[in-house]
């Protein structure tokens, strides 16, 4: 059995409330994993369980998912009595730099499918329950196995949430998916509400989305097999990853990179088409050297750099250095001369006034 119920109960101890935290700006895999783990804990204990997050849930599909979640996630800023809680982390790790676990708090449990980092390993050693499976395509798959092993009843809304978490994380089981992900999907799909799944996957887009698409295309560039764009300052951090997916649909490109500034954080997302691309390792080497945090898998990865206190000129230069460093790394060409605009007459600089 991959989860020991006695160990989980012991890790919670005498505490009556459990908070399951996702990474900031949670995606469907994180939300689904949190809801599934909540069902496990509620099945084993009488604790009050909440799902917490920080940031925003901005992508239209993710907002649509909120309507069908079995538990309403709560912004961390609204959580009270934080020192009396038992904390669990899903799809993230303590010290990863992408969650709001309070300083000095050791979680009672961590479930993730991303490789540990230098900044997380010491805290993970102090965590009572750690289940990190880097060979799984989705964290929701791990949680699904918990539910099945412990015979936890899976409602239609939970099955729908888990199915969408798995398929969105693996691009319909075509990106970084494993046999475990496929099995979980097959076991859950008959329990899911297919109409609701369709409503989530094909949710209608707000006007803002098309503005971001326009900006991404106008600013887009390519060099060899790399395509990318700089979005500049953005109000919706989810657009960085979404535009990285969007640009990689270009038929001749193998890599995409997109950057954007949100609340003093320079966000970067990269995507690849080659199953051996090691996108996560690539972005960690690129971003961590610059003082940021990053992580990911073979085909998808992301990171962030703290820009608080920096001038527009400094952020613009950092943005450019990040793009150029990425191009050099994945093309193995140090002397990158001409970067071409994708559709515009010239590459637009989002930082020019």
pLDDT of residue 275: 87
pLDDT of residue 338: 87
pLDDT of residue 337: 84
Tell me the C-alpha distance between 287 and 294, whole Å: 6
pLDDT of residue 2: 82
Place of tokens 């309403």: 72
State the DSSP string of 160-222.
Answer: HHHHHHHHHHTTTTTSS--HHHHHHHHHHHTTS-HHHHHHHHTPPPPHHHHHHHHHHHHT-EE
Residue 252, Cα to own-chain centre: how many angstroms? 26
Query: Which contiguous run of DSSP H or E holds residue 261?
Result: strand 255-262
Tell me the C-alpha distance between 223 and 237, whole Å: 25
pTM value is 0.91
Cα distances (angstroms) measured from residue 127 to each of 74, 76, 131, 249, 342: 24, 21, 10, 40, 47
Enumerate residue ranges in the chain where pLDDT < 50: none
Strands (E), 263-296: 265-272, 293-296
Q: At what angle do helices 28-44 and 5-12 cross, to 10 degrees?
A: 90
Per DSSP, what are the bridge partners of residue 340? 222
Place of tokens 């998916």: 177
pLDDT of residue 159: 98
CB atoms within 10 A of CB 198: 10
pLDDT of residue 353: 67
Closest by CA position to 31, among listed 79, 82, 70: 70
pLDDT of residue 348: 87
Tell me the C-alpha distance between 56 and 307, whole Å: 19
Domains, the chain, with CATH or none: 5-201 (3.90.1640.10), 211-341 (3.10.310.40)
Which tokens belong to 293? 């945090």
pLDDT of residue 213: 97
Lay out the sheet containing 129-132: strands in order across.
74-75, 48-53, 17-21, 86-90, 109-112, 129-132
Give residues with Cβ within 8 angstroms of 115, minimum separation 6: 132, 134, 280, 295
Phi, psi of 304 (to 5 degrees): -150, 150
Tell me the C-alpha distance between 248 and 271, whole Å: 7
Residues 32/164, Cβ–Cβ less than 8 Å: yes
Cβ-in-10-Å burial (0-12, 13-18, 19+) of 270 comes to buried
Closest by CA position to 86, among listed 178, 10, 183: 10
């Amino acid at each position: 059995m991959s989860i020991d119920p006695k160990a989980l109960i012991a890790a919670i101890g005498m505490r009556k409330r459990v908070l399951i935290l996702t990474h900031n700006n949670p995606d469907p895999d994180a939300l689904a994993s949190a809801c599934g783990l909540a069902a496990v804990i509620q099945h084993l204990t009488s604790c009050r369980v909440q799902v917490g997050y920080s940031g925003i849930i901005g992508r239209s599909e993710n907002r649509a998912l909120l309507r069908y979640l079995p538990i309403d996630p709560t912004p961390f800023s609204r959580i009270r009595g934080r020192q009396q809680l038992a904390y669990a982390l899903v799809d993230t790790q303590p010290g990863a730099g992408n969650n709001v676990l309070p300083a000095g708090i050791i979680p009672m449990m961590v479930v993730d499918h991303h490789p540990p980092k230098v900044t997380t390993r010491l805290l993970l050693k102090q965590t009572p329950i750690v289940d990190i499976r880097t060979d799984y395509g989705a964290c929701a798959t791990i949680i699904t196995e918990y539910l099945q092993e412990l015979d936890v009843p899976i409602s239609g809304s939970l099955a729908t949430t888990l199915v969408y978490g798995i398929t969105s994380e693996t691009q319909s089981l075509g990106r970084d998916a494993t046999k475990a992900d496929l099995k979980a999907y097959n076991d859950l799909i008959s329990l899911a509400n297919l109409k609701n799944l369709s409503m989530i996957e094909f949710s209608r887009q707000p006007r803002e989305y098309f503005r971001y698409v326009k900006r991404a295309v106008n600013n887009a560039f390519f060099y060899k097999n790399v395509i990318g764009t700089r979005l500049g300052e953005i109000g919706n951090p989810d657009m960085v990853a979404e535009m990285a997916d969007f640009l990689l649909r270009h038929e001749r490109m193998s890599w995409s990179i997109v950057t954007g500034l949100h609340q003093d954080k320079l966000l970067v997302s990269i995507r690849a088409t080659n199953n051996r691309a090691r996108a996560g390792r690539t972005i960690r080497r690129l971003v961590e050297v610059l003082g940021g945090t990053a992580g990911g898998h073979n085909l998808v990865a992301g990171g962030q750099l703290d820009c608080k206190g920096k001038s527009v000129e400094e952020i613009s230069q950092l943005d450019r250095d990040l793009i150029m460093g990425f191009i050099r790394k994945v093309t193995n060409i140090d002397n990158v001369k001409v970067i071409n605009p994708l559709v515009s007459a010239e590459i637009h600089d989002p930082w020019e006034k």
